A and B are shown apart, each in its own frame.
Chain A
Amino acid sequence: MNPLERYAPLVDDEEAFFAACERPLPSVVRVNTIKTTPERAREALDEEDVGYEPAGWHDEILKLDGRSPGTTWPYFHGWLHGQEEVSALPALAVDPQPGEFVWDACAAPGSKTTQLAAQMDDTGLLVGNDNNLGRLSALRHNAERLGVTNLAVTNQDARNFSLKPFGSDQFGGYRYDGSDSDGDDEPDEAAREAFDRALVDAPCSCEGTVRKNPDVLDQWTLDHVHSVAGIQKGVLRRAIQATKPGGTVVYSTCTFAPEENEAILTHALEEEDCRMVEFDSPLDTVSGVTEWEGEEYHPDVTKAHRVYPHHNDTGGFFCAKLEVTA
Chain B
Amino acid sequence: MSGEHDGDETGDTPSNSGQQFDRLPATADEREVPGRATREEVVGWWEERFGISPETFDEFTFWEKGKGKIWAFGGDTVDPIRIEGLGMAFLRTRQEHWKPTTNAVQRFGRDATKNVVELSGEAATRFAAGEDQEVEWDGDWGYLLVAHELVGEREPMGVGLYLHGELRSTVPKGRQESLPVLD
Q: Contact residue range for chain B?
A: 35 or more
Name the distance in Å between B180's Cβ and chain A's nearest Cβ: 6
Cβ–Cβ contact A75 & B78, under 8 A: no
Instruction: Using CB atoms, name the residue of chain B closest to A155.
Output: B84
Name the distance in Å between B47's Cβ and chain A's nearest Cβ: 19
Find B150's partner among A77, A151, A180 (CB 8 Å cutoff). A77
From B86-94, B111-119, B132-140, give the one contacting chain A.
B86-94
Q: Does B106 contact A (CB under 8 A)?
A: yes
User: Do A176 and B177 contact each other (CB < 8 Å), given the known contacts A77-B106, A124-B75, A145-B103?
Assistant: no
Cβ–Cβ contact A190 & B5, under 8 A: no
Alpha-carbon gap, A43 to B182, bound state (A): 13
Instruction: Using CB atoms, name the residue of chain B closest to A122.
Output: B74
CB neighbours (8 Å) of A124 from chain B are 75
Cβ–Cβ contact B182 & A47, under 8 A: yes
Instruction: Using CB atoms, name the residue of chain B closest to A154.
Output: B83
Q: Does B73 contact A (CB under 8 A)?
A: yes
Q: Does A40 contact B (CB under 8 A)?
A: yes
User: Do A76 and B177 contact each other (CB < 8 Å), given the known contacts A155-B84, A166-B78?
Assistant: yes
Chain A 88-132 near chain B by CB (<8 Å), digits 1 or 0: 000000000000000000000000000000000011110010000
Number of A-B pairs, beta carbon distance below 8 Å = 131
User: Do A149 and B150 contact each other (CB < 8 Å), given the known contacts A47-B182, A75-B177?
Assistant: no
Residues A145-192 near B (CB distance < 8 A) = 145, 147-155, 164-167, 176-177, 179-181, 183, 188, 190-192
Cβ–Cβ contact B73 & A149, under 8 A: yes
From A22-30, A66-74, A318-326, give the one contacting chain B.
A66-74
Q: Does B41 contact A (CB under 8 A)?
A: no
Cβ–Cβ contact A147 & B107, under 8 A: yes
User: Do A71 and B177 contact each other (CB < 8 Å), given the known contacts A77-B150, A179-B4?
Assistant: yes
CB neighbours (8 Å) of A167 from chain B are 77-78
Instruction: Using CB atoms, name the residue of chain A closest to B125.
Output: A73
Closest 5 CB pairs of A and B: A153-B85, A149-B74, A147-B107, A167-B78, A144-B103
